Amino acid sequence: MKVNDSYFNLATYNNWAEKQHVICQEVGHTFGLDHQDTSGASLNTCMDYYHNTSDNDTKSTTPNAHDYYMLDSVIYVTTDSYSTLSTGAAAAAKMPPAMSELDFTSEENWGRLVSGSKAEGFSVYELDFGHGHKIETMVTWAK
C-alpha cells in the first residue's frame, strides 16, 4: 500500500494523531473494513471520521473491538478445520524472504498480473513463492 501523503502538508492533517488516524484507516480499508461512522464523532476507532486536532488527541488512532470482530468473525471467517499455521525448521525453510528484503518499488517485482490494468485504473498482481506463500499487490492507478 502506498499512501498519497501530500495531504499531510495541510494544517488539518499536520499532527501525529491525525496522521495515525489516516494511515490506520487506509490499512483498515485494505483489509476490507468500512467506516463505522461518518458523522465526525469518535467511536474510538480509526474507522470513523473523527478529526484529531493535536498530537495529544489520540482518540480514533487505532482499531477497536468492532474492527477486530469484523476481521475475525465476518470478513476472514473460515468454516473448515484446516489450519495454515505450521512450525519448525521445515516450515521456516519454505518461507519467502523477509518483507524487508523485497523491493516493491517497481512493477516488475510485483509478480504476474492477475486482474485489471492501468487503463482500468486498478490492478492485482500475485507474487508466488511456492508452498502456498503468496503476496498480492493491489494497485490503484492515478490518472
pLDDT of residue 88: 46
Query: Three-state DSSP class for 84?
Result: coil
Q: What is the pLDDT of residue 35?
A: 93
Buried b (16+ CB within 10 A) or exposed e, 107-128: eeebbeeeebeeeeeebebebe
Query: Which triple of cell numbers denotes residue 101?
Result: 528484503
41 with 59: CB under 8 angstroms? no
How far is the C-alpha of 90 from the C-alpha of 83, rounded, in Å? Answer: 16
CA distance 36 to 123: 27
In this prediction the pTM is 0.55
Q: What is the mean pLDDT of each run of 10 residues along the chain (143 residues)?
A: 76 87 91 91 93 90 88 74 51 52 75 91 85 78 77
Q: Which residues are CB-neighbours of 78 under 8 A, at least 6 positions away?
A: none
The C-alpha cell that represents 88 in the structure block: 519448525
